[in-house]
Amino acid sequence: MTVHRINPSILSADFVNLQHELERITTADLVHVDVMDNHFVPNLTMGPPIVERIQAVSPIPLDVHLMITDADRWAPGYAEMGAYSVTFHAEAAADPVSLARRIRDIGSRAGIALKPGTDPEPYLELLPEFDQVLVMTVEPGFGGQKFMAEMMPKLRRFADAKARLGLDLWLQVDGGITVDTIGMATEAGADTFVAGSAVFGGVPEDRIAELRAAAATHRH
């Protein structure tokens, strides 16, 4: 049976009351932490000191998504903080395989993310080097954007490669995930879903349950 992981994005949380917000999503699988540097994407969120505090108080593991330049330099530090999963962008890493191996050696899961315009082809045979692939279903940088259904063929290519290679690989989607779009992503092979306003825009526990139920009604 497919496990459907729901990872709320704290990009949609109340930044003044982050600890309280984390305590509202204890029924989620991981908390998605968006790190943006205003270089790789045109937005600035948080850096190592805040992520370290989130790691210290979060009741669920951290799924860190680095939307930053020079990932080769900075990503290992997030693994050293104890993040359960560290995902960096293919477009921001000089040597994605070496970086993934460093992250794994430290003890975190290593993920690679692809922006909507990035060709999946160069990464399909590298999949054994990663624990997660994040297919962006919006342009990274801001929450609340519309889900890009045209990314589903890319997701299917990763799902097919995962099956062909027999991998225990998480396929994550991030951007515009709601109860209306999660089924489309599930059918294309996703098993891990980042949702921001779809969770924090209501009672998080109820919203998480609704997303799980919507995902469960569809199968790859």
SS3 state of residue 189: coil
Token pair recorded at residue 128: 């054994």
Residue 103 near residue 76, CB atoms below 8 Å: yes
Q: Give the CA distances from residue 85 to residues 28, 31, 136, 202, 207, in Å, rounded to whole numbers and listed in that order.
A: 15, 10, 17, 26, 23
Q: Is the dihedral of CA 198, 142, 57, 215 positive or negative?
A: positive
Which contacts of 52-59 are long-range, i.e. CB under 8 A and separated by 24 or more positions?
Answer: 52/81, 54/10, 54/18, 54/22, 55/81, 55/82, 55/83, 57/19, 57/22, 58/22, 58/31, 59/22, 59/23, 59/26
- Residues with a catalytic annotation lie at 34, 174
